[in-house]
Structure 1
């Protein structure tokens, strides 16, 4: 079976990827880290068990492309343009609607700014008070 980087994903391959991606523990790991090579190695092994022979780089690229396309269509829908669509939109919506949007509180922003301004700043402790 051809597994070159330029080979298009079949509908069955994408469905298999989505089924693995939809698992709660996979979603949580993908959301919780930027260095996700290990997660995609695991996903590629799971896909191989399902008969899909893709390496981790192909899985990560497809994941990123699907996510980007989904967000583009979702933004268009939220802007009133419901004519823009994509295959697997509803599957991706079910997966990504559970992904928490990063929210930065004012306290978080202030502490991050202080941490970058004061290189050796340690958090305050209540010892000795």
Structure 2
């Protein structure tokens, strides 16, 4: 199968991506880091084993687009607009509903806010903080 930069993802390809993304260890790694090239290289290799030939950049772009669209629809639903919908919403809801909520609770020495997990360790420790 040819995989050009502008080639649309088929329904089967998206389902394969979601099946890999749904794995607990993948979800944990994706949530816990901002520098995630290595994770997407691994995801691309896993997809190849499933017959989906996409490079890591395509996987990351699709991941980001799906997540953005999901959050847009979820926000609309929470605001009372149930007319907004998307394909794979329920699959994404199952994957993303377990992400820990983040809240801004601390500032560093330069006055910048640091996002910490609501279930994080005591303030002042590095455990639980998102990397900048």
Shift in Å at residue 101 of structure 1?
Answer: 1.4
More helix by share: 1
| Structure of higher CA gyration radius | 1
CA deviations on 1:61-100 (whole Å, 9 max, x unpaired) are 0000000000000000000000000000000000000111
1:18-48 Cα shifts (integer Å, max 9, x gaps): 0000000000000000000000000000000
Q: Residues of 1 paired with 2:127 and 2:77: CA distance? A: 53
RMSD (CA atoms): 7.2
1:23 alignment counterpart: 23
Consecutive aligned runs of 4 or more in structure 1 exceeding 6 Å deviation? 107-129
Q: TM-score normalized by structure 2?
A: 0.80
Q: Could you say which structure has the higher strand fraction?
A: 2
Equivalent residues of 1:115, 1:121 under 8 A apart: no
TM-score, with normalisation over the residues of structure 1?
A: 0.82
Cα–Cα, structure 1 residues 109 and 86, in superposed 2: closer, same or farther, change >3 Å? farther
Consecutive unaligned residues of structure 2, counting only runs of 5 or more, are none
Q: Distance in 1 between matches of 2:67 and 2:115?
A: 32
Deviation (angstroms), 1:125:
12
Comparing 35-44 with 108-117, which one deviates more in the overlay? 108-117
1:103 positional shift: 2.4
Distance across 1 between alignment mates of 2:126 and 2:42: 43
Q: State the number of aligned residues.
A: 129
